[in-house]
Amino acid sequence: MVNLIGTYECKADAKGRLMMPVAFKKQLSSVLQDGFVLKRSVFQPCLELYPMAEWNLLMAKINKLNRFKKKNNDFIRRFTAGVKMVEVDATGRLLIPKDLIGFAGISKELVLASAVNIIEVWDKAQYEKVIDDTADDFADLAEEVMGFDDEISLD
């Protein structure tokens, strides 16, 4: 499992190519040759970049869903809508397909933000808005998500 660290600003060219930040390339050096999957985020107007090994782990979970239940099929269809395999080329660039650029409202200025084992790809203005909008609620969210009862051990 990859545990990524960092948030980086970069620019996309007219064709939707961005230069992968050196820090991410170093962290991903062992998996760069395997490629990546780029998809729409479920909860935010951004994209998610999965190293192939992380994507395969997620697909193994999704593949266990009973496809004779309509809601499972609907979920799989929506979850995988617009999914693309992408690679970092020899010059360190990553091409974002046009349909995914449209979904995320990506302009020239981007933010690549680590989200544990994936990288979120944001339009810079959208990213800053989401971070600013949620700043006041973050303490409550942190307590709700991570404020375990004293009796529960994280071991």
Q: Is the dihedral of CA 59, 45, 88, 9 positive or negative?
A: negative
> How many domains are there within the chain?
1
Please check whether residue 137 lies inside any domain of the structure. no
Give which of 114, 84, 79, 78 is closest to 96, Cα–Cα.
84
Low-confidence ranges of the chain (pLDDT < 50): none
Please check whether residue 133 lies inside any domain of the structure. no
Please check whether residue 134 lies inside any domain of the structure. no
114: CATH: 3.40.1550.20
Please check whether residue 17 lies inside any domain of the structure. yes
Please check whether residue 52 lies inside any domain of the structure. yes
Please check whether residue 65 lies inside any domain of the structure. yes
Structure confidence at residue 134 (pLDDT): 73
Structure confidence at residue 2 (pLDDT): 79
Please check whether residue 150 lies inside any domain of the structure. no
Structure confidence at residue 42 (pLDDT): 94
Structure confidence at residue 54 (pLDDT): 96
Structure confidence at residue 155 (pLDDT): 58
Token pair in block for residue 76: 């799989």
Please check whether residue 152 lies inside any domain of the structure. no
> What range does the domain containing 82 cover?
7-125
